[in-house]
Chain A
């Protein structure tokens, strides 16, 4: 495209650009609202990435071709991925609590935001921005070339200070996240010797779901009295509080299953003339249940049986 045509295109806005603005502007505002309204940080990050991509398109539409590409590469490519990385590190399921610590804080904040927005929009509306000259002249030699000639002449000191800032940030991040190991890590042999010496947990830790009806890693195994054992679950899951305790519902399901099997066995017992298969409930005839269904009672013990 020649310089004159570019200048003519840049000093007017087409209908297509207006349509693009209204459609994508709506998307950007919805993304921004979802960023602050989503409870989980992952959803907020994804909504913000969408808003940033829309902003990149707006940069391209405004003649900032270099910034549009940089916005996608740096912001949505690097910064948002860094955000997602930290979200995964900190705990992806950690959702904000909806409880207000300060009473009425949200409504006051929304009111202040509304007032601030009205203030900003009134300022823009009062400015006389009827005439404007586009970037056709400035971009005539190419957008990147124009930016480069400005960066390396007028803004060269700011550019060099930027280099110092980036180095400081990199060193600062390393210093902040570095953890000095003060003692040597214990070897496996030393750990096993220490276990034998103290006499606690000498054999390997029990696996999750050994005595339970599930074998998922976040469901603790049940002790013989029916209580869940924290030892069977990974320490990371324990620390995050992500243990799914299904002992009560598993026991309820087990009781219902036993009741059904009792009823079924009772009917079969009536049919074949088996003397011990009465149609009683498991809570009322513990001895008969244990006698005729020993495997079931052994693999998943009934807490009521222990309690009696």
Chain B
């Protein structure tokens, strides 16, 4: 088996995540889809690292994980704040910058 199959899987997962961001309206599920896309990118990076035979791809994936952790912390804090003021986690309801 050629490791290129991992790249096809990563592309498929990224596509599913992107479609989920467009389809879903719950802000938490949107964040999960973004996480899915980031994970697909990580899989592609790790596979490229194996294809090229050096560890740079794994370093990039490591930094992606760090950035994803920071992004999730801030994003979920924003969702909690918005939910507190609007009592809804739907992105359709948040059409104004302030109440």
Interface residues in chain A, defined as those with a beta carbon under 8 Å from any beta carbon in chain B? 10, 13, 17-18, 21, 25, 28-29, 32-33, 35-36, 41, 44-45, 48, 51-52, 55, 58-59, 62-64, 66-67, 70-71, 74-75, 78-79, 82-83, 86-87, 89-91, 94, 96, 101, 105-106, 109-110, 112-114, 116-117, 120-121, 124, 129-130, 132-139, 143, 146-147, 150-151, 155, 158, 162, 165-166, 168-170, 172-173, 176-177, 179, 239
Instruction: Quote the shortest CB–CB distance from A271 to chain B (angstroms).
Output: 60
- B94 contacts chain A at the CB level, 8 A cutoff: no
Instruction: Quote the shortest CB–CB distance from A134 to chain B (angstroms).
Output: 6
A150 contacts which chain B residues (CB < 8 A)? Answer: 55-56, 59
Give the tally of cross-chain contacts (CB within 8 A): 237
| Contact between B4 and A129, CB atoms less than 8 A apart | yes
| Contact between B29 and A96, CB atoms less than 8 A apart | yes
Q: Given A36-B16, A64-B46, do A70 and B62 touch, yes or no (CB 8 Å)?
A: yes
A78 contacts which chain B residues (CB < 8 A)? Answer: 69
| Contact between A90 and B74, CB atoms less than 8 A apart | no
| Contact between A96 and B25, CB atoms less than 8 A apart | yes
Q: Given A32-B16, A36-B20, A75-B65, do A121 and B77 touch, yes or no (CB 8 Å)?
A: no
| Contact between A155 and B59, CB atoms less than 8 A apart | yes
30 A-B residue pairings within 8 Å (CB atoms): A18-B1, A25-B9, A29-B9, A32-B36, A33-B16, A51-B13, A58-B46, A62-B49, A63-B50, A66-B58, A67-B61, A83-B32, A89-B83, A113-B15, A113-B16, A117-B11, A117-B12, A121-B8, A130-B2, A132-B3, A132-B53, A138-B53, A147-B59, A150-B59, A169-B71, A169-B74, A173-B74, A176-B74, A179-B84, A239-B87
